[in-house]
Amino acid sequence: MGGTRLARVVAAHGRHCLVEDESGQRTLCHPRGKKSAVVVGDIVAWQPSGDEGSIERIETRRNLFYRQDEMRTKAFAANLDQVLILLAAEPVFSEAQLTRALLAAEAEGISACIVLNKQDLGGPFDQAWARLEPYRRMGTPVLPLGLHDGHGLDALRQRLTGRHTLVLGPSGVGKSTLVNRLVPEAGAQTGEISRALNTGRHTTTATTWYWLEPARESALIDSPGFQEFGLHHLEAERLAQLMPDLRAALGDCRFYNCTHRHEPGCGVRAHVGADPSVDPLAIDQNRYRLYDELFDELSNKRTY
């Protein structure tokens, strides 16, 4: 299409978005049509119009990380290499929310890693680290972090290098501190973005794209916190395939359509609660309980 240019969406709010071209130049744009489907991370074709521009189309996405409940779909970002789930020793994290975020990433083929902050707390950190053992065992990277003294920050930087990473996490875990540590100019950038989008809002109210180095090869995408993480876009029958610990035990069930919940001869349930030092396919009982609850939820979801 003549006259259009390609750029990446680095911030979005309502009917406005900020796009950045290869030179780093940023322009305020507005999507054509009534509904805005543009999300941070999208590559878009846009056309200049005075000092601003209009989005003509969204290029094909590699992936889209989103959540969905009965009422609405909320997209976080597109074209990601990695989702970083930031937890802390305190407040105590929800394993159900952690599992939901991991499932959403797995469903889109996006790598995930877990980072546990507040290493300086000692006992509470050790307890939280122990709770994450089943995730380490199933192959999910779990990194320790102490933002208070910078412990583990270098290892985390290495994990982020060359990747476009979305940061998720509940309030109180140090997400803003992490962003400010890794992107010292984040506060100034956020102010500029707010003025450009005319939102006047704080960092955490909108998803924002930050480059981690002048070469613009590694990016951190900060996202708003959330209380719930709906998975209504997933089918219950797909859950076991999306959970690495359950997936490893698939293939030995008596029935081809086994739900791994009550059928006799289930090859998955045979490993639930087993000793991991004896059974390499051992499935943590709490992880299985979460699977069972989610299967119920997704089997009984309403469709509109």
113 is known to lie in a ligand binding site? no
301 is known to lie in a ligand binding site? no
The phi and psi torsions of 257 (rounded to 5 degrees) equal -105, 30
257 is known to lie in a ligand binding site? no
277 is known to lie in a ligand binding site? no
117 is known to lie in a ligand binding site? yes
177 is known to lie in a ligand binding site? yes
Sequence-separated (6 or more) residues with CB below 8 Å from residue 158: none
172 is known to lie in a ligand binding site? yes
Give burial (CB, 10 Å; 0-12/13-18/19+) of 232.
middle
| Dihedral sign from CA coordinates of 129, 133, 136, 140 | negative
35 is known to lie in a ligand binding site? no
Contact call for residues 301 and 233 (beta carbons, < 8 A): no
74 is known to lie in a ligand binding site? no
170 is known to lie in a ligand binding site? yes
173 is known to lie in a ligand binding site? yes
120 is known to lie in a ligand binding site? yes
36 is known to lie in a ligand binding site? no
Residue with tokens 């050790």: 126
- Residues annotated within the binding site are 117-120, 169-177, 253, 258, 260, 266
- Residues annotated within the binding site for Zn(2+) are 253, 258, 260, 266
- Residues annotated within the binding site for GTP are 117-120, 169-177
